Amino acid sequence: MGRRNPKGMETRDRILTVALELFAESGFTAVTMEEIAASAGVTKGAVYYWFADKDDLGRDLQHDLFERLTATALTEFNADGDIVANMRYAFDAFLRALGTLGHARFFLRDAWTIPALDEGGRRDQEAAVALVQGVLAAAMSRGEIVPLDPEALARVLLGAWVEATLHVLTTGEREPTVTVVEHLIESLRADASSLSTVVTGGAHHRSPKERKPS
């Protein structure tokens, strides 16, 4: 984690912006701290003032990107509405937000597969597990989704979503993977076996069973 100090945040942000461009262009491993300093128009010392090393810079960048994507996804999420529909919207929004990252998405793919950066990703994932677990537990207590262990379900879903995201980043195609994830999310509906019951609250979406050809 790089140092934080409001006074120099502008320099820090410039370094991060430039680094992201370089990483996205040439790949994380190929870029040196010297190149980052030169492109940002600062001394190497200035870069090392903010970041212990390139891995540290990469972790901060990954964390910032992940936070931005998560914030976008959460704007689509209404915890009071139909929880299953909302999980689908949120995941789709997350993937659409990936698409708006431009070349930065290549860095994000690196970030999730380069061991030294994975540590930061793990921490972000733990925060996401806690968030999703809370949402699931609330939905279970309202009887909206099937009763399963909320932590186990949150971890298993997050594992699925991370791989789904990586696959979309790798193939550049969203639709086939989104369909898979939506199928799994829909399976959590408490009334998945009932053909006509509509889940109360928020947007009404038919469950996969209702949509099946009879």
Distance CA 19, CA 16 (A): 5
Q: DSSP string covering 139-178, please?
A: HHHTTSB----HHHHHHHHHHHHHHHHHHHHHH---HHHH
C-alpha span between 214 and 116 (Å, rounded): 52
- Rounded Cα distance between 88 and 144, Å, is 15
Q: Would the CA dihedral through 3, 8, 9, 12 be positive or negative?
A: negative
Identify the residue among 5, 43, 141, 193 touching a copy of itself (CB under 8 A): 193
Select the span of 8-16, 69-77, 99-107, 177-185 touching a copy of itself (CB under 8 A).
177-185
Position 179 contacts a copy of itself (CB under 8 A): yes
Q: Which is nearer to a copy of itself, 40 or 121 (CB)?
A: 121
Q: Which stretch binds a copy of itself (CB under 8 A): 28-36, 68-76, 95-103, 150-158?
A: 150-158
CB nearer a copy of itself, residue 23 or residue 161: 161
Within 82-141, which residues bind a copy of itself (CB under 8 A)? 113, 115-116, 118-119, 122
Q: Is 11 in the site for a copy of itself (CB under 8 A)?
A: no
CA–CA separation, 68 and 20 (whole Å): 14
Sites of contact with a copy of itself (CB under 8 A): 113, 115-116, 118-119, 122, 146, 148-149, 151-153, 155-164, 166-167, 176-177, 179-184, 186-188, 192-193, 195, 204-206, 208-209, 211-213
